[in-house]
Structure 1
Amino acid sequence: MTGGKRAHLPVEQRRAQLVAAAMRVMQREGAWSLTTRAVAKEAGVPLGAVHYAFGAKTELVRAVFQADRDRSTALLRRAVQAGGSPAEILIRALVGYADSVIADPGAEMVLQELTMMGGRDDDLRAAARESTEQYRGDVLDLLHRVAEASGGTWSGEVAVLVESVLGLLFGASVNWLCTGDDDLFRRCVTDAAQTLAARLTEAGAPG
């Protein structure tokens, strides 16, 4: 039975298993509780399996961020692919994000905690910064795709629009974690999407 629990897995499957175990540990005990030993125990594998898959705790944290980023990237791209007006696409994207937070508050709390810890922990700072840059890239891609689909142009500096969207989403998520007001959360991001859509100038229209 022991041999069955420790059966060899391809490294990508092992990494996914350990990321899931890390999330369970952090959701239960807080992001600051994360250790490779705790993850090994949660996953039911030898400690060496964690170090083989990731090398260090920082790499495991990067993988946790990446897993969330993969989900958000897919969500935003589905919003664009479903079509519609710029406002409809942006509402679908931002409300979809809010719905994903509401569906899994424990995961959102962990990600917020890890990001804040990056401001204090030198080992985690680079991982948190990389994650933030990746989220910026996802929102920038969303805005580019919306503009391309509509044939319009964003008024103002796109980098500032991206930062405003991220600040709104992360801040509204923190507020929701504290209040649990689902309706206000969704109305807030809907309003932000509509306001953002109004910054898109149609082709041929005066800027």
Structure 2
Amino acid sequence: MNKRKPLDERRAEIVEAGLSVAMREGVESVTVRRVAQEAGISLGTVHYCFDDKDAMLRAMGRAIAMRASEQVLAALDAGPDRTALLEATVDAMLGGLKQHQEMRLLTFEFAVSGARTPVLREVAQAHLKQSIAMTREYLQRLADVAHVRFRTDMGALARMTALRIDGIELAWMVDQDDEAARAGFADLAAAVWGDMEPVDELELAQEL
């Protein structure tokens, strides 16, 4: 007798099926019925796991954003040294882009579909917010590791950084120029670092 899978596990399977359909056939091909077929489960199971198609699409967007951020967050293990952090971050951003290029391309399709189709606009907006939030998380962790703070408002800086990353990645999707992408990421990293200032040692001790 087969045991019923935990809800989180079943949701993850549905998200993977949805991503497979989207990457192969496009975002607009993602329907509850099509995803159920891809996952080999009933329509009822999908509806049990997600309230509607939009909820499923939002979960897909979160999954893409999480994968895109994993390598960059891991680069913080390079420690507080500026040069090491910059090099590790640039390598992680380019490596992650190349490894997950189909996923990243899908994020742009989400954005375009959301701009064109009112039904998908909320999903596209949610994905944009997720991307900016994860960029903000990285910047905050970077500040903590490097013992610095930002002069610019964190929310504004996170939005600017996320949008510049999108531009660099979209250009790479078109020209596949690794060196141009690396240079773009390096310039962005330098600009972010240039917005930092050291945290006073007394202030740092009080925070700790």
TM-score range, shorter chain: 0.7 to 0.9
Give the whole-Å Cα distance in 1 for the aligned partners of 2:103 and 2:31: 17
* Counterpart in the other structure of 2:145: 149
Q: Does 1:200 align with 2:196?
A: yes
Q: How much identity, in percent, do the aligned residues show?
A: 25
Q: Deviation digits for residues 91-148 of structure 1, max 9, x if unmatched?
A: 4234313322211222111121112222233333222222222222222222222223
Question: Is contact 1:40-1:47 (8 Å) kept?
Answer: yes
Of 125-134 and 41-50, deviating more is 125-134
1:114 pairs with 2:110: yes
**Residue among 145, 164, 169 paired with 2:165:** 169
- Write out per-residue CA displacement over residues 10-53 of structure 1, whole angstroms, 9 at most, x where no aligned residue: 21111111111111111111112111111111111122221111
- 2:91 corresponds in structure 1 to 95
| CA deviation vs aligned residue, 1:64-96 (integer Å, no higher than 9, x gap) | 111123334433432223313245324423431
Q: CA RMSD in A?
A: 2.3
**Match in the other structure for 1:74:** 70
Report the Cα offset of residue 55 of structure 1. Answer: 2.2
Provide the secondary structure at the position in 2 that maps to 1:9: coil
Structure-2 separation of matches of 1:48 and 1:159: 40
Where does residue 121 of structure 2 map in the other structure? 125
CA distance in 2, matches of 1:72, 1:109: 11
Which structure 2 residue ranges, 5 or more long, are not aligned?
201-208
Q: 3-state SS of the aligned residue for 1:118? A: helix
For 2:58, the equivalent position in structure 1 comes to 62
Q: Is this contact kept in 2: 1:139–1:162, CA < 8 A?
A: yes
**Partner residue, 1:180:** 176
Q: Could you tell me which of 18, 32, 37 is aligned with 2:14?
A: 18
* Count of aligned positions: 200
Per the alignment, do residues 176 and 41 of structure 1 end up closer, same or farther by CA in structure 2, a change over 3 Å counting? same
Whether contact under 8 Å (1:94, 1:190) holds in the other structure is: yes
SS in 2 for 1:139: helix
1:43-58 paired onto structure 2 within 5 Å = 43-58=39-54
Equivalent residue for 1:160, pick from 151, 156, 159: 156
Q: Which moved more, 1:77-86 or 1:106-115?
A: 77-86
Residue 74 of structure 1 aligns to which amino acid in structure 2?
Answer: E
- Conserved 8 A contact 1:91-1:193: no
Q: Distance in 2 between matches of 1:197 and 1:18?
A: 39
Asked if the contact 2:143–2:150 (Cα under 8 Å) also holds between the matched residues in 1, the reply is: yes
How much does 1:203 deviate? 4.0
| Amino acid across the alignment from 1:18 | I
What amino acid sits opposite 2:18 in the alignment? Answer: A
SS of the residue aligned with 1:201? strand
